[in-house]
Structure 1
């Protein structure tokens, strides 16, 4: 089976390398830019696989591969379609997870092939949750691959549930108002969501100067274990 791969994020790199080791698929191209999508028209692959492609794929491209465009998305769809899906569960308490789905015209709205929920821990930052979602995405794709090859139909999403987030929404939560009255737990959750080193996301401003902040949370059990060593 001939394939084209779109991406590539950290999970996508692992999936791409794994696919290249499989005897049942030949990856003809790796595309990372929107202006490369025309190559799909030329190659006419049987399937397209996406993990970390940062551009919207037009419907005329989605319709080309016989077995569709399969996308790996690090959220429990229909929750947190779109950008920064590892951040929003920390901010608003929506469930976290990973989903493999077919692309449709709407952002992350296509039928779900497989998915799994990933627990959110009290000490998680966005970076912690991202790393766990990345690992589970790779495992879930490998498990689903036999069904994907068969052309499994997938199940429709309930689009009346969940939400779509866009890149500019990070700007709305990144700046912390030092005069704002806020519940302590909400501030901690916001800092957790903004902590993704080495990126400097959360900040406050004094006299025109930005000061960047992040949070590090350590469970008591980890401290006790380190003391026992």
Structure 2
């Protein structure tokens, strides 16, 4: 049976391939895995241009081919929305870096640091809504006071791999019970963009200011910023160190 993994996360691509190759998951050997990334992912396009094991894909324009070709499609941090026609004709599974139904959508760990809602990893069936559908399994990840978006995200990646290791065979064999969750809340890309500009005149508790800055600190990414007197962006990252 052909299975497609669609991802835009290089670390998860590598770790998923390693997982499929592990000896303790021999039952997976009867499945044929193919790999794809989003057609507009320039970093992947350059890195994998000579790798015939993975290919660029635009889901919206290849829906009929995907329906014809695959029995299961995994979205593993893929930045594309799956059309309703696809999810109604193929079993589509999302590995999502959030604890549904909390903070569905963009960068769940960012919003969990700010609003205090639970964070974690969820594997769920995909329906026509964003990060929505019956939950197959999930694991909560505790965000500590010293976590930034980056360190919280890395904890979530580890949780996602644990969930896949424990449930992948059952998902492929369709031997699981998925449970519907409440609607919860959704954060879109524009909600994240609105967070990034820091209002220097804003008054709040020091805790809330720290939480916002650590939520927007993600490795080498430039997220939080303010404008100086000449209209130039000044970017802010903070470092959290535990004793």
Q: TM-score range by the shorter chain?
A: 0.7 to 0.9
My pick for the range that moved more, 171-180 or 99-108, is 171-180
- Provide, for residues 174-211 of structure 1, a one-character-per-residue CA deviation record: whole Å limited to 9, x for no partner: 11111211210000000010001211000111111211
Is the CA contact 2:59–2:82 (under 8 Å) kept in the aligned structure 1?
no
- Provide, for residues 76-117 of structure 1, a one-character-per-residue CA deviation record: whole Å limited to 9, x for no partner: 100111111121111110111100000000011110000011
Distance 1:31 1:20 in 2: 20
Q: State how 1:4-153 maps to structure 2 within 5 Å.
A: 4-9=4-9, 10-19=11-20, 22-33=28-39, 35-36=58-59, 38=62, 39-43=65-69, 45-65=70-90, 68-151=91-174, 152-153=176-177
Q: State how 1:168-179 maps to structure 2 within 5 Å.
A: 168-179=190-201
Is the CA contact 1:5–1:16 (under 8 Å) kept in the aligned structure 2?
no
Cα distance, 1:64 vs. partner? 2.6
Q: Quickly say closer, same or farther: Cα 1:201–1:31, change in 2 above 3 A.
A: closer
Cα distance, 1:168 vs. partner? 1.3
Kindly tell me the number of residue pairs found equivalent between the two proteins. 215
- Provide, for residues 6-35 of structure 1, a one-character-per-residue CA deviation record: whole Å limited to 9, x for no partner: 113132442244336641321134242362
Q: TM-score, normalising length from structure 1? A: 0.88
Cα distance, 1:63 vs. partner? 2.2
Q: Quickly say closer, same or farther: Cα 1:41–1:156, change in 2 above 3 A.
A: same
**Residue in structure 2 matched with residue 166 of structure 1 by the alignment:** 188
Q: Which of 180, 197, 207 lines up with 1:185 in the alignment? A: 207
Distance 1:216 1:51 in 2: 29
Q: Quickly say closer, same or farther: Cα 1:16–1:205, change in 2 above 3 A.
A: same
Q: Quickly say closer, same or farther: Cα 1:86–1:12, change in 2 above 3 A.
A: farther
Distance 1:17 1:62 in 2: 27
Cα distance, 1:124 vs. partner? 0.2
Where structure 2 has 5 or more consecutive residues not aligned to the other structure, the ranges are: 23-27, 40-56
Q: TM-score, normalising length from structure 2? A: 0.83
Distance 2:17 2:223 in 1: 29
Distance 1:29 1:127 in 2: 26
